[in-house]
């Protein structure tokens, strides 16, 4: 499937404990180059915590994460995050910076100045008007802001894109459009993407591979077609049942 041997991301017996509970209890996982993986589960299942161990926003209690074969604990934090795009639900655009400055922040941190042309390109990539660069974040809609969040995450030309409920706060139309856009960018830029979502339908429609988490453990690891065919066990099927029932009802209504 890929030109280099071995997975791009490898999690070995990863555990994150808080005082009384384990958010992640011993997860091992390999993600190949170019995969689009969705992490699905109920609130509190540990999926966000697991995702954040990859860019070390969460430090695991034990276990290792390897990025391209290298344990990430050995990498300088800034350098690691430079190679990993991060998009999350509350977006976190810097309110005191223009859209252009927000997008260019990653390169700026390592002393590079992102060319105006490149900012326009990135805006075009996320379906925004290239002239929008001079605007301030508070002048934009939620959908526009998250598009900029994606553009900012891509400015460093990262190998990996991590997304934590990236479309959770958006209206359904924007959500659908941006989801498709991100999937297209994943292909176009040759990214390896990991997306946390609680929406199984979104996971099935966008991802190549769906991981289901429950109580800090991965309970299912299937391709979308297999899940729809009944694989993955009771918990996964419970999650799949919801969009399936909705689809059936809609089909009946249309008949």
Partner 1 sequence: MSDIGTILLGLGDKLAAHVLLSAAAIALGIAVALPLAIWASRSPAVARATLGFASLVQTIPALALLALFFPILLSLRAVFGEGLPTLGFLPALLALSLYALLPILRNAVTAQTNLDPGVIEAADGVGMTFWQRLRLVEAPLSAPYIMAGIRTAAVWTIGAATLSTTIGQPSLGDPIFAGLQTQNWVLVLAGCLASAGLALVTDALLGTIEKGLASRRRRLTFGALGAVLIGILAALFVQFGGGKDERIVIGAKGFSEQYILARLIGQRLETEGYAVDYRDGLGSAVAHRAVATGAIDILVDYTGTIWTNEMGRSDNPDRDTMLAEIAEWEARTSGTHVLGRLGFENAYGLAMQREVAHFGMFNDIGDLAARGQAMTIGGDPEFFERPEWEAVRNAYGLRFAAQRNFSPTFMYNALKSGEADVIGAYTSDGRIAADDLVFLDDPERAFPNYDAIILLSPEASEDEGIVVALSPLVGAIDVAAMREANLSVDRGEDKLTFEEAARRLAERIGL
| CA 146 to mean position of chain CA atoms | 13
Based on the shown chain and the rule CB under 8 A, indicate whether residue 147 belongs to the binding site for partner 1: no
Give the Cα separation of 142 and 144 in Å (integer): 5
Specify whether the CB–CB gap between 127 and 184 falls below 8 A: no
State which of positions 76-115 bind partner 1 (CB under 8 A): 77-82, 86, 88, 90-96, 105-106, 109
For residue 5, the minimal CB distance to partner 1 (Å) is 28
For residue 105, the minimal CB distance to partner 1 (Å) is 6
For residue 181, the minimal CB distance to partner 1 (Å) is 20
Any residues with CB less than 8 A from the CB of 154 and at least 6 apart, and which?
A: 85, 122, 125, 161, 185, 189
Binding mask 10-49 for partner 1 (x = CB under 8 A): ----------------------------------------
Q: Which is nearer to partner 1, 153 or 185 (CB)?
A: 153
Question: Residue 49, exposed/middle/buried by CB under 10 A (0-12, 13-18, 19+)?
Answer: buried
Max Cα-Cα span within the chain: 60
Binding mask 186-225 for partner 1 (x = CB under 8 A): ----------------------------------------
Among 48, 55, 144, 193, binds partner 1 (CB under 8 A): 55
State which of positions 57-76 bind partner 1 (CB under 8 A): 57
- The H or E element that residue 197 is part of is strand 192-197
In order, the DSSP letters of 220-246 are EEE-HHHHHTT-SHHHHHHHHHHHHHH
For residue 82, the minimal CB distance to partner 1 (Å) is 5
Interacting residue ranges for partner 1, rule: CB under 8 A: 55, 57, 77-82, 86, 88, 90-96, 105-106, 109, 149, 152
């Amino acid at each position: 499937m890929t030109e280099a041997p071995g997975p791009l991301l490898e999690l070995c017996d990863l555990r994150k404990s808080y005082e009384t509970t384990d958010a992640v209890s011993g997860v091992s996982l390999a993600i190949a180059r170019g995969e689009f993986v969705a992490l699905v589960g109920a609130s509190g299942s540990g999926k966000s915590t697991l995702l954040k161990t990859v860019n070390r926003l969460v430090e695991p209690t034990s276990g290792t994460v390897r990025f391209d074969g290298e344990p990430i604990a050995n990498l300088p934090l800034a350098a690691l995050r430079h190679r990993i795009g991060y998009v999350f639900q509350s977006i976190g655009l810097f309110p005191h910076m223009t859209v252009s400055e927000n997008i260019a922040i990653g390169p700026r941190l390592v002393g590079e100045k992102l060319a105006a042309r490149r900012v326009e390109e990135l805006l075009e990539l996320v379906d925004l008007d290239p002239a929008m660069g001079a605007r301030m974040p508070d002048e934009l809609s939620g959908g526009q802001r998250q598009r900029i969040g994606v553009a900012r995450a891509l400015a460093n030309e990262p190998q990996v894109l991590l997304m934590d409920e990236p479309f959770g706060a958006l209206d359904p139309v924007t959500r659908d459009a941006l989801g498709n856009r991100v999937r297209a960018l994943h292909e176009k830029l040759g990214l390896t993407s990991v997306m946390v979502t609680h929406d199984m339908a979104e996971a099935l429609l966008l991802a190549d591979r769906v991981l289901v988490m429950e109580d800090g453990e991965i309970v299912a690891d299937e391709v979308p077609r297999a899940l729809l065919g009944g694989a993955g066990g009771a918990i996964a099927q419970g999650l799949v049942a919801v969009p399936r029932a909705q689809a059936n009802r809609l089909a009946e209504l249309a008949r």
